[in-house]
A and B are shown apart, each in its own frame.
Chain A
């Protein structure tokens, strides 16, 4: 079937199969920041926004995203820089493979929660796995970022 999805403000029309995932669709459209770590909704690497809300693109069918606005890290580089400068200063993007999905969720959290507690932050991001860093450096970066005036 032919569908159209708006990604980072631009319309992409493609032929897809009924089982094509949004993950495959956005990568086919050149959004290589989006990564896959599990295919089973457990790792958070494939996080993108659908109409501004984080979703796991590995488990959203492309057909279901038709007509919706998708945002990937490529589309929010200015906003994300505020956070990623802190992340890089900590060296908490170790291999970096988990970073894009994690960053998308951190930005969404900043938009959604004001003054979250440590455990609210952890809960919000608990679906974002990282095998390299042990999360502590990510948390240091998040704390600094949450203090930045929006």
Chain B
């Protein structure tokens, strides 16, 4: 193998570092209608009347859509495999406003100025209603966020009359009985905020009509195929009328697994026939898109005197906000991607409610529920370790599953094929000096250092749901084109697939073109989310390469006139037993000339009945100033088991980036609303993400395992890397200050107020 498991430069690197025009807004036509959205100032209101007469007179205004004239087909904006589990609770312009920022009108004009001016001139008469702004009071509240349940599509106990989009319970053994038997127990309730994805490129799309009367949308999306379905459903037009193209994307982290900006240019262009675009402002990206689900999680866990964790119960309440996209699926990961870490389990319980409120809708964010669950469960296990008098890392080593073991409450896998978690823990201990350094240390300047750790898991695609298809073509001069529908959002999947093909076809990477994504030409792929690309699409790539090798040998046998079994292919040429050689270049040229023409095309699809978990151990060393409560990260160590890392440089940078977002989740990133439901933290001044001064030293290593069901032994890496910092840092702060923070983020105030 030449490329897999090395640090290859990304195939798009040169374009990106030279600032080439490769992102959505760089490519939009200059003559383009500009769209602005008039947004509700009320968290809950009915539009009694909306008058656009004066606004329409603004020069250059082309179209104004409101609840009076917009298409009224119901849809969900969640980018999930059909039939989505998210409720179809949206229409383009509703007459009920369900959060501050809900869309009251869509304005398209020749310039931004004119569009904004028209927005100001639209007269809306609202009947203001009482909102639900506290998610703990939403369930069975007489105020209903959605009073029309005709659209229920969510299969899991969808009950909008109770403001519930899903609720449920799972049991393993008898939790109550096992919990009662435990020597040491912890019962603690945690809160996590609606963290914002904050990708640097906000939501944006533009649309134009093609010569054949079809709507083409270019969009910064993680889910082009789902977006095609969303748009066709929203407009009530056949799928064949819609084409979605994904250029380079300026980050997504799950935010763009939901269609956000897409609907508006699609509707404007479809109705006017003219090109149009919509660029979200940063304020809109904060307050009017989607976020992580805010949660309350109560964990009860217990262990015996040896530290065997035998009982775990997780009761979770999740705030899906005004609309339900991803609400019924995110919640599953709170339990399914945390409890299975503990393999001595005898009694387990997982209970959930997901509620509507009049706040910004939550959707997908890297970690997808596992992040919240890991914070709660790992914080609890750290407390349990203290009670049992066992080192926190040692306690994990006693409880984690060995390779081949049966695992519990995963929902999808039964047995663990691969795990490098033991190595993650032991290597992490070495890197941070877990056994050497004191876990609490007062520094000469009076500041106090502390250390903490946590472990976590995630999935690799969604078992039995996610699929991927790829097409590999042998082109006329012996190079290959790989057509994919997976969406590189900066994460580098175009590059790692090229690495895989190069190794499988024994050729240099320069001979491989990777093309994605255009729904007209790319093979179907649900998109890049759920840590699926490397594992699921990667496996389709491996299969396609195997098939291509067969096809090459078949054709060579015909043209060399000798039995196929006697031929061998080394990537450059096909050799017969008698030493006759046919170069791939010659074969490829011959295949596209004359009556015997036959271009070789290998297609492959892959879906997995399992979702093998990547694992990680995270170790934090922090320093708190007891005078101010201010906490700095000194070191954040992360050791990952992603199976075989296909590209070591990209896997490392992914890990560093995930740890940094996890540090933000732990220490800074907080969402505040005014009492009227308006978000206050809607810019980078009020919502602080880590700068390069805030992350401390990030140290990353890998504890490789080999996943037999993955391409070259690979599992996923995209999401698992965000989960450990919060519980590890919480523990480190506790070691340093004695203050146990159970509600993120860990602000200086919480530390100061908590100190005795």
Contacts and interface: CB of A to CB of B under 8 A. Distances in A.
A91 B717 CA distance: 15
A97 B200 contact: yes
B63 interface: no
19 contacts: A32-B26, A33-B18, A34-B19, A35-B200, A37-B282, A45-B200, A80-B18, A89-B9, A91-B653, A93-B10, A96-B15, A96-B248, A97-B200, A129-B689, A132-B490, A132-B653, A133-B653, A135-B660, A137-B649
A131 B17 contact: no
Nearest to A85: B17
Contact of B692 (A32, A80, A96, A138): A138
A92 interface: yes
Contacts of A94: 251, 490-492, 650, 653-654, 657
B7 interface: yes
A97 B250 contact: yes
B90 interface: no
B753 interface: no
Contacts of B251: 94-95, 97, 131-132
* Residue in A80, A130, A134, A137 whose Cβ sees the most chain B Cβ within 10 Å: A134
Contact of B16 (A43, A74, A96, A128): A96
Interface of A: 17, 32-35, 37-40, 42-43, 45, 72-74, 77, 80, 84, 87-100, 103, 122-123, 125-139
B661 interface: yes
A7 B340 CA distance: 58
A136 B250 contact: no
B14 A88 contact: yes
A131 B695 contact: no
Contacts of A40: 282, 683-685
Contacts of B253: 131
Nearest to A39: B282
A30 to B, nearest CB: 8
B658 interface: yes
B111 to A, nearest CB: 10
Contacts of B197: 131
A95 B692 contact: no
Given A88-B10, A123-B693, A131 B199 contact: yes
A72 to B, nearest CB: 7
B175 interface: no
Contacts of A89: 7, 9, 649
Given A97-B251, A126-B692, A135-B656, 12 more contacts: A32-B21, A37-B282, A74-B19, A90-B653, A91-B650, A93-B17, A98-B250, A126-B691, A131-B198, A133-B656, A134-B653, A139-B692
B129 interface: no
Contacts of B15: 96
A88 B10 CA distance: 7
A132 B198 CA distance: 10
Given A132-B490, A135-B660, A88 B19 contact: no
A40 to B, nearest CB: 5
Contacts of A17: 113
B17 A134 contact: no
Contacts of B199: 95, 97, 131-132
B201 interface: yes
Interface centre among A92, A131, A135 (most CB of B within 10 A): A131
Given A126-B693, A130-B200, A136 B19 contact: no
B652 A137 contact: yes
B12 interface: yes
A33 B26 CA distance: 9
B281 interface: yes
Nearest to B252: A95
Contacts of B10: 88, 91, 93
B544 interface: no
Given A35-B201, A39-B282, A90-B649, A96 B657 contact: no
Interface of B is mostly: loop
Contact of A131 (B9, B18, B281, B689): B689
Contacts of B689: 129, 131
Nearest to B283: A39
Interface in B685-718: 685, 689-693, 695, 698, 700
Contact of B9 (A73, A88, A125, A139): A88
B311 to A, nearest CB: 36
A88 B653 contact: no
B64 interface: no
A77 B59 CA distance: 42
Contacts of A34: 19
Interface in B192-251: 197-202, 248-251
A22 B23 CA distance: 20
Contact of A99 (B17, B652, B653, B695): B17
A137 to B, nearest CB: 5
Contacts of A84: 17-18
A97 B349 CA distance: 43
* Residue of B13, B253, B658 most packed against chain A (CB within 10 A): B13
Nearest to B26: A32
Contacts of B650: 91, 94
A91 B19 contact: no
Nearest to A74: B19
A96 to B, nearest CB: 3
Contacts of B9: 88-89, 91
Nearest to A17: B113
B115 to A, nearest CB: 15
Contacts of A122: 692-693
Nearest to B649: A91
Nearest to A90: B649
B19 A131 contact: no
Interface string B483-497: 000000111100000
A17 B114 CA distance: 13
B647 interface: yes
Contacts of A138: 692
A140 to B, nearest CB: 10
Contacts of B200: 35, 37, 43, 45, 95, 97-98, 129-132
Contacts of A123: 693
B17 A72 contact: no
B281 A73 contact: no
B656 A134 contact: yes
B659 interface: yes
A77 B281 CA distance: 29
A16 B672 CA distance: 38
Contacts of A91: 7, 9-10, 13, 492, 647, 649-650, 652-653
B170 to A, nearest CB: 34
Contacts of A129: 200, 684, 689, 691
Residue among B13, B200, B650, B661 with most chain A CB within 10 A? B200
Contacts of A125: 692
Contacts of A126: 691-693
**Which one of A45, A91, A130, A137 has the greatest number of beta carbons of chain B within 10 Å?**
A91
A88 B652 contact: no
A84 B18 CA distance: 8
Contacts of A35: 23, 200-201, 250
Nearest to A103: B17
A131 B657 contact: yes
Nearest to A128: B692
